[in-house]
């Protein structure tokens, strides 16, 4: 428990309550060593056994951004799209990690396919000029959409806030165009819609956020944020890497190190770990430990063999901890910038 603004409570972390974003968030926490205990799937509160001073709340993605912005919740995972939409200019939401690796989508400006002469924003301006009417844009993201069109020097735009499926709006004459989230693009094709060539408003994916005021006011919240960053970053760094062990014949550690450091892939993150193998016959063999990116493994095996390596063993990596995560250093720098 800690006291914030006269209220005694646990530190609160909000996660999405349903859908793929919820599933991926829970999986990320578990794989990061922060498993969540939720006795009943219908309960909107849970705990993290490894963090006894923390409670987990399950909310809608958009509500998480609002709760963190207003300081009701200290930390959360939600989409960058809703974080950007709910930003009110007070800088109370601090994005600690903007690339959690799931929930990828794009907020785009979209028009119907039957508008054959409209393929870019300049074409939309021409259309407005010829119609002498405002263009009507239906959207679930009025703030982001308004900022986008204003930055493109649009003035004759009517913004229609809408819920539910937007794809039908241009087809029934409810709007001339829409802005909406796009992932695969299949829904657009099925509804005969197309993205403007220069219609990208925002690239989004799941992100880890915090309330700046609560971070500054509470050492407990700051420490929890550091732990979250430490373990999530360590997991994400490890996710795309494997550990490679091999035996290489040579005269000395220095000779083996020179051969490895001369290669492009097996140089590793910082360099190889090399130790002497005590053989029955007294031969000069050395054991080498390397960290290699998964998508470079085939080339790494070739490089190891090219310098006489054998007995190659490849194993998964669960965590790669840094001396201090760059994301934590960046978070502190941003806090100093915004809070003096």
8 Å CB contact between 111 and 194: yes
8 Å CB contact between 265 and 292: yes
Task: Classify domain 105-204 at the CATH topology level.
Answer: D-Maltodextrin-Binding Protein; domain 2 (3.40.190)
Lowest-confidence segment of 16-20, 202-206, 211-215, 307-311 by average pLDDT: 307-311
d(CA 254, CA 17) in angstroms, rounded, equals 54
DSSP state letter for 134:
P
8 Å CB contact between 32 and 231: yes
Report pLDDT digits (tens) over 263-296: 989 986 677 889 988 877 777 889 999 999 999 9
What value does the mean pLDDT take over residues 191-212? 96
Q: Which residue did the predictor score with more confidence, 201 or 130?
A: 201
| pLDDT for res 74 | 97
Question: Which two structure tokens, joined as six digits, stand for 55?
Answer: 């409670």
| pLDDT for res 336 | 87
pLDDT band with cut points at 50, 70 and 90 for residue 4:
low
| pLDDT for res 99 | 93
What value does the mean pLDDT take over residues 180-199? 92
Res. 1: pLDDT tops 70: no
What value does the mean pLDDT take over residues 186-206? 94
Q: Which of 110, 103, 109 is nearest to 204 (CA)?
A: 103
| pLDDT for res 172 | 87
Q: What is the dihedral of CA 107, 113, 114, 117, to 10 degrees?
A: 80
| pLDDT for res 128 | 78
DSSP state letter for 321:
-
Res. 2: pLDDT tops 80: no
What value does the mean pLDDT take over residues 184-198? 91
d(CA 50, CA 67) in angstroms, rounded, equals 24
Lowest-confidence segment of 198-202, 249-253, 256-260, 321-325 by average pLDDT: 321-325
Lowest-confidence segment of 4-13, 35-44, 99-108 by average pLDDT: 4-13
Report pLDDT digits (tens) over 311-340: 899 999 999 988 788 888 888 888 888 876
Report pLDDT digits (tens) over 44-98: 999 999 999 999 999 999 999 999 999 999 999 999 999 999 987 778 999 999 9
Res. 150: pLDDT tops 80: yes
Kindly list the domain boundaries of the chain, sorted by start residue.
2-102+205-238, 105-204, 240-316
8 Å CB contact between 181 and 107: yes
Report pLDDT digits (tens) over 105-140: 999 999 999 888 999 999 998 887 777 678 999 999
Are 2-102+205-238 and 105-204 in the same CATH fold?
yes
8 Å CB contact between 207 and 327: no
What value does the mean pLDDT take over residues 29-37? 95
| pLDDT for res 5 | 66
| pLDDT for res 184 | 86
Res. 220: pLDDT tops 80: yes
CATH of region 2-102+205-238? 3.40.190.10
Task: Classify domain 240-316 at the CATH topology level.
Answer: Alpha-Beta Plaits (3.30.70)
């Amino acid at each position: 428990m800690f006291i914030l603004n006269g209220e005694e409570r646990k530190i609160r972390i909000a996660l999405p309550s349903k859908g793929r974003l919820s599933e991926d968030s829970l999986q990320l926490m578990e794989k990061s060593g922060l498993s969540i205990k939720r006795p009943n799937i219908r309960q909107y509160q849970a705990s993290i056994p490894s963090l006894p001073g923390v409670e987990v709340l399950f909310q809608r993605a958009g509500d998480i951004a609002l709760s963190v912005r207003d300081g009701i919740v200290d930390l959360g995972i939600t989409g960058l799209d809703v974080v950007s939409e709910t930003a009110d200019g007070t800088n109370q939401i601090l994005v600690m990690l903007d690339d959690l690796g799931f929930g990828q989508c794009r907020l785009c400006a979209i028009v119907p396919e039957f508008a054959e002469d409209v393929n870019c924003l300049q074409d939309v301006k021409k259309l407005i000029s010829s119609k002498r009417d405002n263009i009507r844009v239906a959207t679930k993201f009025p703030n982001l959409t308004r900022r986008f069109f204003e930055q493109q020097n649009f003035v004759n735009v009517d913004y229609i806030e809408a819920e539910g499926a937007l794809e039908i709006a241009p087809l029934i004459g409810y709007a001339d165009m829409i802005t909406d989230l796009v992932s695969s693009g299949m829904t657009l094709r099925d509804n005969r819609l197309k993205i403007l060539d220069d219609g990208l408003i925002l690239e989004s994916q799941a992100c880890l956020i915090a309330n700046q005021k609560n971070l500054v006011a509470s050492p407990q919240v700051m420490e929890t944020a550091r732990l979250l960053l430490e373990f999530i970053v360590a997991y994400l760094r490890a996710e795309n890497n494997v550990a490679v062990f091999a035996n290489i014949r040579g005269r000395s550690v220095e000779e083996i190190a020179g051969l490895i450091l001369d290669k492009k892939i097996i140089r590793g993150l910082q360099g190889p770990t090399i130790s002497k193998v005590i053989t029955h016959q007294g031969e000069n063999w050395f054991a080498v430990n390397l960290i290699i990116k998964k998508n470079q493994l085939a080339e790494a095996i070739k490089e190891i063999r090219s310098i006489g390596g054998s007995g190659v063993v490849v194993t998964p990596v669960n965590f790669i901890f840094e001396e201090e995560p760059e994301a934590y250093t960046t978070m502190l720098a941003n806090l100093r910038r915004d809070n003096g």
